[in-house]
Amino acid sequence: MDLSLNVNGRPEQFSAPPNELLVERLRDGLGLTGTKVGCDTGQCGTCVVRIDGRSVKSCLVLTASAAGSRVTTIEGVTTRGGELTGLQEALREEHGTQCGFCTPGMVMALGELVDNTAGREAPTEPEIREWLTGNLCRCTGYHSVVRGVQRACSAARAGEPAAGAPAAPGQEV
């Protein structure tokens, strides 16, 4: 099948078999290896990307079903100057990453939560923990991740850059 996607602000056109998973296209076809393969069953969350702004597990999405969509991977989460996003910086400051294997999926999933915080009350600890149920981490115990999200949400509410989004074409990265 001939397909096209917009990946991290860049148009991509390619042929793909009808049963190809999006995670395979991203990693093997496009070389975007920040998206991890963990369980292959949608349980661990290491493969989370954003499709048209919504976080999804790319090991459960056929490439063909994403055709025509905007896909953002961890490689596409940037600030204008290329620094860490507010969420990434908050996770770093709160020691919300350790081995790092789950980090890209968490940043992608939690970025949606932080982005949705603008203009409303920050999510509570139970809300953050519920949002995290789709992402497994064997190192942090989630306490530091929750603190990082709280810090990022506070910054977002104060008008500071939050989770980051794909750089617009032509935008300085």
- Three-state secondary-structure class, residue 154: helix
Single-letter amino acid, residue 144: S
Using a pLDDT cut of 70, give the percent of the chain over it.
91
Those residues with Cβ within 8 angstroms of residue 74's Cβ, 6 or more apart along the chain or in another chain = 34, 35, 49, 104, 107, 108
* pTM score, whole prediction: 0.87
pLDDT average, residue stretch 106-130: 89
pLDDT at 108: 96
pLDDT at 68: 97
Looking at every residue in the chain, the average pLDDT score rounds to 89
* Alpha-carbon distances of 60 from 55, 115, 129, rounded to whole Å: 12, 23, 22
What does the pLDDT look like over 26-52, one tens digit per residue?
A: 999 999 999 999 998 999 999 999 999
pLDDT at 62 over 90: yes
Residue 7 backbone dihedrals phi, psi, to 5 degrees: -115, 115
Q: What token pair was written down for 99?
A: 């081995």
